[in-house]
């Protein structure tokens, strides 16, 4: 999909922008249809109103009904084909050469470029440079990998996942999210162990197909001159190689290993050695507090709470349309995500193109813990959506989620916002029962006491994924077998986490998919940035929750530039110091007593003040919100009385579908 060089620079830019939008939209529509197991074809971002449609597309979904007459189904073949078309455009050397010719002409004085045109051409050059496969063998290999990955994705989506009930011997279907939730809250150890074995069964199921993908990925990376696939991916995404990344990672690993060792010893002393078993660890840490907190996170209120939280932070979505598919079902992709078929950008005529986002989580509303899980996912993925909705740059190339957009940059925004769900200042305002009662301080304090000394476990689980992928891609090809893959996962879990993990490495979906493979290190770098940004804002403003200055600073400092600025530069510009692990390590080392004193003071103030936007009050995020369940459209803020009306309609649907016994 090449765009030939034009004598007019603006014409070249316009054609590349249009071609990018078309290829991106085609792929993302099929990605959503496939991952959501939709029967109706086309975009789920909503095309029923011209006020929310900012681009021409092949969208054919109805905004009010799933029976629109469209019967095409997203398939692995369609996903692979549109992915190949998207990557062919990004990786076509003709496009790169056209951009470089325009830049060279300006350098030689043969043409004049405005500052904005040069800025756009530079991001196009950088973007195309991440994907060029000039070697025909490499291009053919990449297409083969796309097909292998699509096949694995389809197999994984149709896997009969679940556990064998130890009481009855009956096999009960459950998603990986449901299995992990049950491990957190079930009082029966045999049930928890059965659920762990269910999650662990993902590894053997995917291993044979995944091993072949790993081999082909490494072949591709080496054809392109990289050490291995991990080196290739991190260089494209972050601008520095695997060696530099693991210098940072190794330093963090070394500094937190003693904290982890002490935490494991403390857990065994407090709750017995059995608490360290992978099926018991999550329950030992959160079993009691999770159940105690559950009434204060009613699932059906999650969308309303998220909207009011963001509204009080001064966060807006610049005219975006968001489609939310929040509940679990058979065939649905087993990880929450937010993608945007239409990216936000500003056209040469000055008009702004608002984004369209597709957002999913995997809640089972009747299950203990589902409300909090859904809310944290809303805060996280809604943070991604807010970030990408507010990129305001003169090309869609600045707004794409893949390389050269930094993984760490993207995850900083979502992780900063999901952290609010753990703050007493937020819980005292927004964690309310169905009858309107605020979560008592004792429950919050018990939660901190149960988890704060063990926060290092989350860090170690986070770094285990990149260490696993690093070791995997460094294996000699002769050793890349199903058996070695399974053994390696256990070895890394034991070495990095001190024992087998409650979330087995091969149940983590990121390594399986091209977009998210060799990606997880971004969460680690992002968490460093989150801790540093929170510390800076606290020192500057004194409080974070319900502070509209936070949304403004995030938007102006982090969001608007898009990938036109480097992640490390943005962090330093916002926080006024280089990125470092100091604030994260400081948080891990804080005595529990000091944490409780500070959080209790914040809680008392929160209860006294209440939320800035009360339940039932209108909240305007400058966004159209569609709530769906697969092909079924449940509510639409454009036709159901605004966001508050859509939330009420969604609540009624949840009550009828899941909670009416």
Does position 567 have pLDDT exceeding 60, yes or no?
yes
Tell me what the mean pLDDT of segment 199-203 comes to: 97
Closest by CA position to 184, among listed 290, 266, 96? 290
Would you call the peptide bond into 87 cis, given omega within 30 degrees of 0 as the criterion?
no
Bridge partners of 452? none
CB 412 within 8 A of CB 530: yes
Domains of the chain as residue ranges with CATH: 138-215 (no CATH), 284-462+516-659 (1.10.1370.40)
Q: Are strands 320-327 and 623-629 parallel, antiparallel or unpaired?
A: parallel
Q: What tokens appear for 498 in the block?
A: 């001190």
Q: Are strands 632-636 and 623-629 parallel, antiparallel or unpaired?
A: antiparallel
Q: Over the stretch 405-443, which tens digit does the pLDDT of each residue have?
A: 998 999 999 999 999 999 999 999 999 999 999 999 999
Q: Over the stretch 100-132, which tens digit does the pLDDT of each residue have?
A: 999 999 999 988 999 999 999 999 999 998 888
Say how far apart CA 449 and CA 472 lie, in whole Å: 37
In the sheet that 356-363 helps form, which strands lie side by side, from edge to edge?
Answer: 337-342, 356-363, 320-327, 623-629, 632-636
Q: Which residue has the tokens 């403390």?
A: 266
Judged by DSSP in three states, 577 sits in coil
**pLDDT interval class at 7 (50, 70, 90):** low
Query: Which pLDDT value is given to residue 537?
Result: 98
**pLDDT interval class at 41 (50, 70, 90):** low
Tell me what the mean pLDDT of segment 142-171 comes to: 93
Does position 373 have pLDDT exceeding 90, yes or no?
no
- Exposure of 444 in the CB half-sphere (CA atoms within 13 A): 29
Q: Over the stretch 53-79, which tens digit does the pLDDT of each residue have?
A: 233 323 323 223 333 333 334 477 889
Bridge partners of 636? 626
Contacts of 355 (CB under 8 A, 6+ apart): 317, 318, 320, 321, 340, 342, 343, 344, 385, 388, 389, 399
Closest by CA position to 171, among listed 202, 207, 198, 136? 198
Element (H, E) at 288: helix 281-293
Query: Which pLDDT value is given to residue 56?
Result: 30
Q: Over the stretch 220-274, which tens digit does the pLDDT of each residue have?
A: 999 999 999 999 999 888 888 999 899 889 989 999 999 999 999 999 999 999 9
Mean confidence (pLDDT) of the chain:
90
Residue 432 per-residue DSSP state: B
Phi and psi at 637, nearest 5°, equal: -60, -20
Does position 46 have pLDDT exceeding 60, yes or no?
no
Query: Which pLDDT value is given to residue 10?
Result: 94
Helices (H) and strands (E) in the chain, counts: 24, 9
Say how far apart CA 570 and CA 554 lie, in whole Å: 11
Query: Which pLDDT value is given to residue 60?
Result: 29
Query: Which pLDDT value is given to residue 68?
Result: 30
Rounded to a whole number, what is the distance in angstroms from the first to the last CA of the chain? 55
Would you call the peptide bond into 241 cis, given omega within 30 degrees of 0 as the criterion?
no
Lowest mean pLDDT segment, chosen from 75-79, 165-169, 170-174, 551-555: 75-79
Bridge partners of 324? 359, 627
Q: Are strands 632-636 and 345-346 parallel, antiparallel or unpaired?
A: unpaired
Does position 299 have pLDDT exceeding 50, yes or no?
yes
Query: Which pLDDT value is given to residue 61?
Result: 30
Residue 615 per-residue DSSP state: T
Q: How crowded is residue 48: how many other Cβ atoms within 10 Å of its Cβ?
A: 21
Query: Which pLDDT value is given to residue 129?
Result: 86
Say how far apart CA 104 and CA 98 lie, in whole Å: 10
Q: Over the stretch 592-621, which tens digit does the pLDDT of each residue have?
A: 999 999 999 999 999 999 999 998 888 999
Bridge partners of 164? 171
**pLDDT interval class at 4 (50, 70, 90):** low
Closest by CA position to 344, among listed 549, 18, 562, 600? 562
Query: Which pLDDT value is given to residue 661?
Result: 59
**% of residues, the chain, pLDDT over 90:** 73
Tell me what the mean pLDDT of segment 289-296 comes to: 88
Does position 37 have pLDDT exceeding 50, yes or no?
yes
Contacts of 33 (CB under 8 A, 6+ apart): 40, 41, 42, 44, 73, 74, 78
């Amino acid at each position: 999909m090449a765009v030939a060089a034009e004598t007019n620079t603006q014409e070249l830019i316009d054609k590349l922008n249009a071609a990018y939008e078309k290829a991106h939209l085609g792929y993302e529509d099929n990605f959503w249809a496939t991952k959501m197991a939709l029967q109706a074809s086309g975009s789920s971002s909503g095309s029923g109103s011209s006020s929310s449609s900012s681009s021409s597309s092949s969208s054919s979904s109805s905004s009010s009904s799933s029976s629109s007459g469209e019967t095409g189904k997203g398939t692995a073949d369609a996903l692979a084909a549109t992915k190949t078309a998207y990557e062919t455009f990004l990786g076509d050397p003709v496009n790169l050469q056209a951009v470089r010719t325009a830049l060279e002409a300006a350098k030689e004085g043969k043409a004049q470029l405005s500052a904005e045109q040069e800025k756009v051409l530079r991001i196009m050059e950088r973007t195309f440079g991440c994907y060029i496969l000039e070697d025909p063998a490499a291009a053919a290999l990449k297409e083969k990998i796309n097909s292998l990955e699509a096949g694995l994705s389809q197999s994984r989506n149709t896997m009969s996942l679940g556990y064998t009930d130890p009481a009855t011997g009956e096999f009960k279907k459950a998603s990986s999210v449901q299995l992990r939730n049950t491990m957190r809250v079930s009082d029966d150890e045999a049930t928890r162990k059965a659920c762990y074995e269910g999650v662990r069964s993902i590894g053997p199921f995917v291993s044979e197909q995944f091993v072949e993908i790993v081999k082909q990925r490494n072949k591709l990376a080496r054809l392109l001159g990289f050490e291995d696939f991990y080196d290739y991916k991190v260089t494209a995404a972050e601008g520095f190689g695997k060696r530099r990344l693991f210098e940072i990672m190794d330093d963090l690993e070394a500094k937190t290993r003693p904290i982890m060792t002490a935490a494991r010893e403390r857990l065994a002393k407090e709750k017995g050695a059995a608490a360290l078993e992978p099926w018991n660890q999550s329950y030992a840490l959160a079993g009691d507090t999770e159940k105690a907190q559950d009434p204060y996170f009613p699932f059906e209120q999650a969308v309303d709470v998220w909207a009011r939280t963001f509204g009080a932070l001064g966060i807006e979505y610049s005219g975006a349309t968001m489609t939310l598919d929040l509940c679990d079902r058979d065939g649905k992709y087993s990880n929450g995500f937010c993608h945007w078929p239409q990216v936000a950008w500003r056209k040469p005529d000055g008009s702004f193109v608002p984004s369209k986002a597709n957002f999913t989580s995997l809640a089972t509303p009747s299950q203990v813990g589902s409300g909090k899980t859904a809310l944290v996912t809303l805060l996280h993925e809604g943070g991604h959506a807010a970030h990408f909705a507010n990129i305001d740059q003169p090309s869609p190339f600045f707004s794409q989620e893949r390389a050269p957009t930094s993984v760490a940059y993207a995850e900083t925004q979502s992780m900063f916002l999901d952290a609010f769900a753990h703050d007493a200042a937020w819980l005292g305002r927004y964690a309310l029962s169905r009858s309107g009662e605020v979560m008592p301080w004792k429950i919050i304090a018990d939660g901190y006491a149960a988890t704060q000394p063990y926060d290092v476990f989350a860090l170690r689980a986070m770094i285990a994924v990149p260490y696993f992928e690093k070791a995997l891609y460094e294996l000699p090809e002769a050793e890349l077998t199903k058996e070695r893959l399974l053994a390696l996962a256990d070895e890394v879990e034991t070495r990095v986490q001190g024992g087998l993990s409650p979330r087995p490495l091969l149940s983590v979906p990121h390594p399986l998919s091209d977009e998210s493979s060799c990606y997880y290190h971004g969460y680690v770098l992002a968490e460093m940035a989150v801790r540093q940004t929170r510390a800076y804002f606290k020192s500057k403003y004194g409080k974070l929750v319900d502070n509209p200055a936070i949304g403004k600073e995030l938007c102006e400092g982090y969001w608007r530039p898009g990938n036109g600025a480097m992640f490390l530069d943005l962090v330093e510009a916002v926080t006024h110091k280089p990125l470092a692990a100091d604030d994260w390590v400081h948080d891990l080392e804080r005595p529990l007593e000091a944490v409780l004193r500070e959080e209790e003071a914040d809680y008392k103030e929160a209860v006294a003040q209440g939320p800035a936007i009360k339940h039932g009050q209108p909240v305007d995020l400058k966004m159209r919100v569609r709530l769906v369940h697969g092909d079924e459209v449940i509510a639409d803020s454009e036709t159901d009385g605004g966001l508050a009306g859509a939330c009420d309609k969604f609540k009624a649907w949840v009550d009828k579908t899941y909670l009416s016994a």
